[in-house]
Amino acid sequence: MGGRQRPPKARNVRPVADTGAEIARLEGYLAWEAEVAAAARDARAFADRFPWLPADDREALESAYADDRLRYAEEIVDRAVGRCRELAARYRAECRRVCARWAAVCLSVAFAAALLAALPAALRA
């Protein structure tokens, strides 16, 4: 087969709505990787305070420090996610309540307008 070939059809094209979620997921990944790098850097700096430690003990100290810091960071993230979910549920409930109240007000106004429009005809009869 000679000549130009057509480019392959795009597969698995995601809707635009997923783009924001993917960007947020990527940002979360990058933030966590930055935290891992910072934990390793700080662990090395902490271990540098003990120059007399043998290499094996130094590595164990660095590892323990980094693990503790990442465990703490993970707990903070978990608490933040839990709080965000809690607030989102509360705001959804509040939004439903406000929407229901506005719907009731609009229906009441429409009913009153229809009643006032029909009242003169009923009085004439």
Could you report the per-residue pLDDT of 108-122, keeping only the tens digit for each? 999 999 999 888 877
Find out whether 47 and 62 touch, Cβ atoms under 8 Å: yes
Token representation of residue 27 = 């940002």
Question: What are the pLDDT digits (tens) for 59-98?
Answer: 999 999 999 999 999 999 999 999 999 999 999 999 999 9
In three-state secondary structure terms, 23 is helix
DSSP secondary structure, 63-123, as one string: HHHHHHHHHHHHHHHHHHHHHHHHHHHHHHHHHHHHHHHHHHHHHHHHHHHHHHHHHHHHH
Find out whether 42 and 58 touch, Cβ atoms under 8 Å: no
> What band does 1 get if pLDDT is binned at 50, 70 and 90?
very low
- State CA 117 to chain mean position distance: 50
Identify the residue with better confidence: 1 or 35.
Answer: 35
Instruction: Supply the pTM of this predicted model.
Output: 0.62
Domain boundary assignment for the chain: 18-124
